[in-house]
Amino acid sequence: MLLLSWIAPGGGRGVVTLDLVNCTEVRSVPSPNRAEASDDIGTLAARMMDGEDRRAEGSNLVEMLCPIQLLYTDGVERLAASL
C-alpha cells in the first residue's frame, strides 16, 4: 500500500491509502506544461489551482508537477509530486 498524508488547508490532516497489490499498471504522464497534456484532467486541475492560489510568490504548479497514474481494473488514480 501507498499511504499519503498532508496538512489540509484550514487545518487538519488529509490521508489516502492506495492499494498497490491490485494496481495493474503505473505510468508517467506528460507534465502539465507539455502541449500533449493540454486536455488531461490533472493538467486542467493544476491550471485552476494555479489561478486560485497565488499566496506563494513565484508559485507555478503547472511548472513543478511530475504526474503519474495508477491504473486499476475499475479506474485510475492520478498523483503528482513536485520537483
Looking at 13-17, 23-27, 37-41, 58-62, which range is the least confident one? 58-62
Contact 65, 80 (CB under 8 A): yes
The answer to whether the pTM exceeds 0.75 is: no
Query: Where would I find the beta strands (DSSP E) of 8-64?
Result: 13-18, 25-28
Give tens-digit pLDDT for 35-73.
776 677 777 777 777 665 555 555 576 777 778 889 999
* C-beta of residue 36 within 8 angstroms of C-beta of residue 30: yes
pLDDT at position 46 is 72
* The three cell numbers locating residue 49: 489551482
Q: What is the mean pLDDT of the chain?
A: 79
Helix (H, G, I), strand (E, B) or coil at 48: helix
* Backbone φ and ψ of 46, nearest 5°: -65, -40
